[in-house]
Structure formats: structure tokens, C-alpha cells
Amino acid sequence: MDIDARGPRFGAAVTTVVLAAVLVTGSAWLLAWQTLAFLLGAAGGVTRSPYGYLFGKAVRPRLGPPTEFESPEPPRFAQAVGLLFAGLGLVGLTLGPDWLGLAATGAALAAAFLNAAFGYCLGCELYLLVRRVAVRAE
């Protein structure tokens, strides 16, 4: 079943704010929260992530009906990519080196910002690329 395309974009906006706060404060706890949010989104789909849940319960009822839907698989894959970068960032911020934490968090922030501001999902595009390559290999 397809999902409301505004949900992942809302999640990306919240993620952008959280990751920017991590870079400003250097808070490993805040990055741990975001890593958990990515984990839940990758494991259960974006509608089961904390931000997807917030969108479904508090934001979507206040909006008009959705006009655009998307397949849930690409955003779910994007959550897994975010999990990878947030996990690397968490390792860097807690165990070192600091540059790893900052670089991985910055990369995740850039991807989240692109989705939030422009609707361009890097993780989704990566999913589609991997899928095209797999189909050609068959």
C-alpha cells in the first residue's frame, strides 16, 4: 500500500532540525535518538518511525487529503542509509575520531535537508539505482 508522500518529507524536516542540533551541540544523546528513529523507520517503515507516527497523528489530520502517494520501499531504504550514517556519527562522537562523527552527521544532515527542502530523497534514488542494477544482472 502506498504512503502519503508528505509524511517522509515531514520526517526529513524534523531530522534536519535534530541533526543540525547535533552538529551545533555535539550531543551524542541527541544523535542516539536520531539513530533510534532511523532504526525504527528502517525496521518498520517510515509510518512506524517516531516522526511518521507524529505526522500521522498530529499533522496529517490538519492537512487536506493527500494528492501524491509513493511506494514505501524507497523511503524505508533511505531510513536504513540514514541509520548507517547516524551510526557512524554516533561511533565518531562517542569513541572518536571526532571528524568521523561530524562528517557522518553532516552527510546525513545534507541528505535530510535535500528531502525536506526540495523533495529530493538521496536514499530513495540509491534504492532505485540498486534495483535497476539488480534487474539488469538477472
pLDDT at residue 138 in the model = 81
Closest CA relative to residue 24, chosen from 137, 120, 112, 105: 105
pLDDT at 129: 95
Q: Which three cell numbers stand for residue 84?
A: 548507517
Question: Tell me, what's the pLDDT at 17?
Answer: 98
Grid coordinates given for 28: 551524542
Contact between 29 and 74 (Cβ < 8 Å): no
Q: Given phi > 0 = left and psi -120 to 50 = alpha, else beta, which region is 96?
A: left
Predicted local distance difference test score (pLDDT) of residue 137: 87
Per-residue pLDDT of the chain (138 residues; tens, 9 = 90+): 899 999 999 999 999 999 999 999 999 999 999 999 999 999 999 999 999 999 999 999 999 999 999 999 999 999 999 999 999 999 999 999 999 999 999 999 999 999 999 999 999 999 999 999 999 888
CA distance 136 to 124: 19
- The domains of the chain are located at 3-137
Phi, psi of 76 (to 5 degrees): -65, -40
